[in-house]
A = this chain, B = another copy of it.
């Protein structure tokens, strides 16, 4: 017989998500989350660095998956395509949890602090992917740009996937967004607006 109920972290995650949905992020205190999980406020902060982090705990696993996925892409693939392939693979995982992703996204969309945290997690993903690309021999400005562009593609694709009722899957949205980005950046080779001295 254990002294405490098991999976304290999981109970805290669950309680936090419920309360954030019920009354909103700002209107929820950490003490309330802890109480619902049968723990104390102090214990919450032993498991999560802050009140926001409880919603982003899974990001670490996602990043590991993305990095691994990208690292094992064939060398022949162009950087942007390797990035897109990794994002599609991650997207395929994500869409198995569409309902819970939708809930989570609704909570985040309702609060600026949570959006800030999400943005820095995405920036961290981009940074990690850029590192992998550099290790694969991609030159420096290109590596960062491919990673950042990939994240932009993912953001747009995710947004459309989560807000539309259509049944198209997330990897498909990602492919479409990438094609759209390629079209947008292909544009005209010689910019019309070019006030170069």
Contact = CB atoms under 8 A, between A and B. Distances in A.
Q: How many copies does the complex hold?
A: 2
B119 A112 contact: no
A91 interface: no
A160 interface: yes
Interface string A72-97: 01101111111011000000000000
Contacts of A116: 116-117, 119-120
Contact of A185 (B77, B120, B182, B195): B182
Interface of A: 73-74, 76-82, 84-85, 112, 115-117, 119-120, 123, 138-142, 144-146, 148-149, 151-153, 155-156, 159-160, 175-177, 180-196
Given A77-B191, A141-B177, A152-B152, 10 more contacts: A74-B193, A115-B123, A116-B119, A119-B119, A139-B190, A141-B180, A141-B193, A145-B180, A148-B152, A149-B152
